[in-house]
Structure 1
């Protein structure tokens, strides 16, 4: 198994991944309006959209938001798909973080060098890979929608023109961290998946016992 400091590193990455994805999922900054290229009449009013909220900055300095003003069934399918995928990413990243906590040496819940630690390390890595994949599909689909509306002449007459928001970049950074953590966890779990105890049926003889056994064998050979 890989050295324990590596698992502390993956735990730190898992924490960053989980909270990065969780914050990005809830905040309404997946895209924002660009006043330079929006309609001159409305372009000076900053608007921000997420997968759960649409927000607008008011002239008096206030801030107003709504949940797209319609039932979820009638919202754009791209947003519905992004919601589902990001919720799955949040759940899996949280479970991967918990599993990572259980495999470090400072955790006394599980016995040291137990097989369950290797299984948890492998499962945590797989969960991080799925988290990365779900986030990739959600952001790629949403980003494609922003790019299409930006260049399509069908949307040239609308009041606001949108660009990538900071939440997308935060998710992409979290995906990179998740990929690194997944590789370390999976490689560490597969490298030495058998513990030293497995070679002795759950019993590991001490060095003194092995020395006594070798001396007794030499005595028998001399007697013969």
Structure 2
């Protein structure tokens, strides 16, 4: 059961890493909102972190990379940096978690170092969860606010894209992974402390036995000398 939970954490961590990459790369953060009197739509606008795309009649799609970072709104600029940080954190946390599992040869028989490595992986998974959830929720809040803003033109209104939903699902996976890893770490550290306590009591018992043996020997020697006198 313990090994299965560690393998499950690795699988979920890998899914979280793939999810952050997909969320960052897909140009589906904001899509055209088909509202108004004209219900015949021939072209759809897709806006992402790195490019915007035009899709015509669900067949042809043309994408263009942004000429400058400064033309993006603040939420997309922040989302670029945070999502890149999330990818790096998810990758490092996945490596640390893999090195920290009990079946790993990393750190040899040093259980304390292995547990610390495992705990760092769980903490970084939680940080990756935050750096994924914040930009996705920020962009979604901006899209919804502009959609219900009466001063915004219909042509400028956008809807939530597929990348946002993938980002929310990915952040949930990263959160669950971090919780599993830290819960498993608490169990492992408790067992390690129990071993240290048992070893300490064993050493104490051995010292007490050694002292009692020395005392009995000293008493026997003194008694022998008295008999000799």
Q: Indicate the residue corresponding to 1:99 in structure 2.
A: 96
SS at match of 1:46: strand
Q: Indicate the residue corresponding to 1:169 in structure 2.
A: 165
Structure 2, unpaired ranges of 5+:
221-229
SS at match of 1:47: strand
SS at match of 2:106: coil
Higher relative contact order (Cα pairs below 8 Å, separated by 6+ residues): 1
1:53 and 1:66 in contact (8 A); partners too: yes
C-alpha separation between the residues in 1 aligned to 2:40 and 2:150? Answer: 19
2:101 and 2:118 in contact (8 A); partners too: no
Shift of 1:42: 8.1
> Which has the larger share of helix?
2
User: Is residue 183 of structure 1 aligned with residue 179 of structure 2?
Assistant: yes
Q: Indicate the residue corresponding to 2:53 in structure 1.
A: 55
Root mean square deviation of aligned Cα? 3.1
Q: 1:142 to 1:39 in 2, by over 3 A?
A: farther
Please, what TM-score do these two structures have when normalized by structure 2? 0.78
SS at match of 1:65: strand
Q: 1:60 to 1:124 in 2, by over 3 A?
A: closer
SS at match of 1:153: coil
> Looking at CA atoms only, which structure, 1 or 2, has the larger radius of gyration?
2
Structure 1, unpaired ranges of 5+:
none
Q: 1:109 to 1:121 in 2, by over 3 A?
A: closer
C-alpha separation between the residues in 1 aligned to 2:91 and 2:131? Answer: 14
Q: Which runs of 4+ in 1 moved over 6 A?
A: none
Number of residue pairs matched by the alignment: 210
